[in-house]
Amino acid sequence: GQNIDQPTEMTATEGAIVQINCTYQTSGFNGLFWYQQHAGEAPTFLSYNVLDGLEEKGRFSSFLSRSKGYSYLLLKELQMKDSASYLCAVMDSNYQLIWGAGTKLIIKP
Amino acid sequence: IAGITQAPTSQILAAGRRMTLRCTQDMRHNAMYWYRQDLGLGLRLIHYSNTAGTTGKGEVPDGYSVSRANTDDFPLTLASAVPSQTSVYFCASSAGTGENQPQHFGDGTRLSIL
């Protein structure tokens, strides 16, 4: 079966760095997406990786290792507004997105 | 502002009733999707449409139907609602269906079936 695993919840301090991990087992791979979802709102696109390595976008970076079935989202200089759920999704061989349950990130002052 | 509009925002519905959730996008995206989001679970795909005039079944299609008569609209119908269909429903769209085609989401419909 297809499976995406992420930690359920993480806590970090304002100004610090946090890494949210995602491991996956899917039928085929056509890229991995990270989304941010604030409570009660729609998911919004953050990043896309299809090749191994690190993609950087401002305070957010996303890493992919296809051989290990592993990705992480790195958030630097954490701000209170970064409190949200972070969703990992893999595009399978049928170009359908398989979603993890999300990691709820709590930022403390 | 371009985007996806879903209606209604929320609804309480008696079991056995028929309900249509509306979704309209103005980005001229080819592909559209319906997901449900339940606590502790990832988004689950109900139905999708890769282009106007075509639809396909996702992971959890039973009890739901869709149509795609034109590019902009993708309504989701619950023929006879049951309590297990209580959920938050998100409509999404993407320009295409290949690699690096992020999906863009509407604000969701919160549906309670009593």
Mean local confidence (pLDDT), A73-86: 98
**The predicted structure's pLDDT at residue A51:** 95
B2 pLDDT tier (thresholds 50, 70, 90): low
Q: CA B2, CA B4: separation in Å to the nearest integer?
A: 7
Interface touch B108/A42, C-beta < 8 Å: yes
**The predicted structure's pLDDT at residue B40:** 87
Tell me the average pLDDT of chain B.
95
Q: Which residues of B fall within a CB distance of 8 Å from A99?
A: 42-44
Tell me the average pLDDT of chain A.
96
**The predicted structure's pLDDT at residue B98:** 82
Q: Taking 80 as the threshold, does the pLDDT of residue A62 lie above it? A: yes
Q: Taking 90 as the threshold, does the pLDDT of residue B99 lie above it? A: no
Q: CA B9, CA B109: separation in Å to the nearest integer?
A: 5
Q: Which residues of A fall within a CB distance of 8 Å from B104?
A: 45
**The predicted structure's pLDDT at residue B100:** 85
Taking only the tens place, the pLDDT of each residue in B29-67 is 999 999 999 998 889 999 999 999 999 999 999 999 999
Under an 8 Å CB criterion, which residues of A touch B?
4, 30-31, 33, 41-45, 48, 50, 87, 89, 91, 95-102
Q: CA B48, CA B33: separation in Å to the nearest integer?
A: 4
Q: CA A86, CA A72: separation in Å to the nearest integer?
A: 11
Nearest CA-CA distance, residue A38 and chain B, Å? 11
Q: Which residues of B fall within a CB distance of 8 Å from A50?
A: 99-100
